[in-house]
Amino acid sequence: MKIALDAMGGDSAPGVNIAGAFDSIRLYPKISEVILVGDENRLRDECGRLALDARHPKIRIVHAPEVIGMAEPGAKAVRRKKQSSISIAMDMVRDGHADAFVSAGNTGAAVAAATLKLRTLPGIDRAGIASPLPNEHGICNILDAGANPESKPAHLVAYAVMGTAFARHVLGVRDPKCGLMSNGGEQEKGTAFTKETYRLLQQTPGINFIGNVEGHDLFETEIDVVLCDGFVGNIVLKSVEATAKAVSKWLRSEIKVSPMRIAGALLAKGAFHALKEKSSYETYGGSPLLGVNGVVIIAHGSSSALAVRNAIRVAMETVDHRVNPRIEQAMATVNTDAPAA
């Protein structure tokens, strides 16, 4: 299995991307090659600085002279910078030279490149990002987390089908539960958009739709896929991340108030470490862009080497479990049995 990595993407590129790539080939035997796409001279220099062998048989460097910055408008940058690391890496997936694409770079550019170059799967109008959140029962995926901010009800029906396929075949959930994000659990709550989406989801075969869910359900309820448009999903995701960071900062500050608290914290060090690992985005690596005709994994812009390694792992698992063919099969059933959706 070959993974094309946007080596220039992210706040700490290319160092963390290179380190994550080398970790992945050491830990995951199924990966035959990680292709580092970026400025060749800079990548080789960085390999030297990290004391890593750029001539490793499972590492290949493909030169890309341009970089799409994190603040650049995605679609325009993809069209203007055809020799960027994102564009060239995505071309490798399109042309069959790589099995998956991974990037911690500009999300808008990665989504635009995937949509333009790979196109969407049959029956899928808009792709969506499935971002994992840990809760009391396992992992809950928010879908969409930012790819499509102006969704239509039919888009969320497709997200339900895709999220169900991903949860079932990659995460191993036997009967994934889907909920619709709203401002109340009752069916009559929400906007005209959510009410119409609710109606369509009730008619959709092959999904376990449990109705409306609220913000607290993300962490308290046994639910595997939470559906919303990309505007709401991105705000929810960033709010949760910011809250987790704030609570961690407040906790450290309060612990330092007295020697007694410091001693207690030392005794609870193992619990704190386990909680940090469970709640950290690094553990989950990256979010799949579901609905495009190829495997695309979007990692956090501030990814560490560990996060990049785990994003590569998610790409490997998504390819290995043949998620896209399963999505196609499920969408064919929806389009046949539920024309209203």
More confident residue, 4 or 137: 4
Task: Tell me what the mean pLDDT of segment 115-121 comes to.
Answer: 95
Which CATH number does the domain 1-118 belong to among 2.60.120.10, 3.40.718.10, 3.50.50.60, 3.20.20.140? 3.40.718.10
Whether 12 shows a pLDDT value over 90: the answer reads: yes
C-alpha distances (whole Å) from 77 to each of 14, 42, 92, 168, 254 are: 20, 22, 18, 35, 45
Task: Tell me what the mean pLDDT of segment 167-176 comes to.
Answer: 92
Whether 6 shows a pLDDT value over 50: the answer reads: yes
CATH number of the domain located at residue range(s) 126-283+323-341 in this protein: 3.40.718.10
Q: pLDDT grade, residue 337 (50/70/90)?
A: low
Query: How would you write the chain as a 3-class SS string?
Result: CEEEEECCCCCCCCHHHHHHHHHHHHHCCCCCEEEEEECHHHHHHHHHHCCCCCCCCCEEEEECCECCCCCCCHHHHHHHCCCEHHHHHHHHHHCCCCCEEEECCCHHHHHHHHHHHHCECCCCCCCEEEEEEEECCEEEEEECCCCCCCCCHHHHHHHHHHHHHHHHHCCCCCCCEEEEECCCCCCCCCCHHHHHHHHHHHCCCCCEEEEEECCCHHHHCCCCEEECCHHHHHHHHHHHHHHHHHHHHHHHHHHCCCHHHHHHHHHCHHHHHHHHHHHCHHHHCEEEEECECCEEEEECCCCCHHHHHHHHHHHHHHHHCCHHHHHHHHHHHHHHHCCCC
Whether 335 shows a pLDDT value over 70: the answer reads: no
Task: Tell me what the mean pLDDT of segment 314-329 comes to.
Answer: 93
Task: Please give the single-letter amino acid code of residue 76.
Answer: K
Q: pLDDT grade, residue 338 (50/70/90)?
A: very low
More confident residue, 336 or 200: 200
Q: pLDDT grade, residue 339 (50/70/90)?
A: very low
Task: Tell me what the mean pLDDT of segment 118-142 comes to.
Answer: 92
For the stretch 58-84, pLDDT in tens is 999 999 999 999 989 988 999 999 999
Positions of CATH 3.40.718.10 in the chain:
1-118, 126-283+323-341
The per-residue pLDDT for 340 is 43
Look up residue 251 and give its two tokens: 């906790």
Quote the percentage of the chain above a pLDDT of 90: 74
Average pLDDT score, the chain: 92
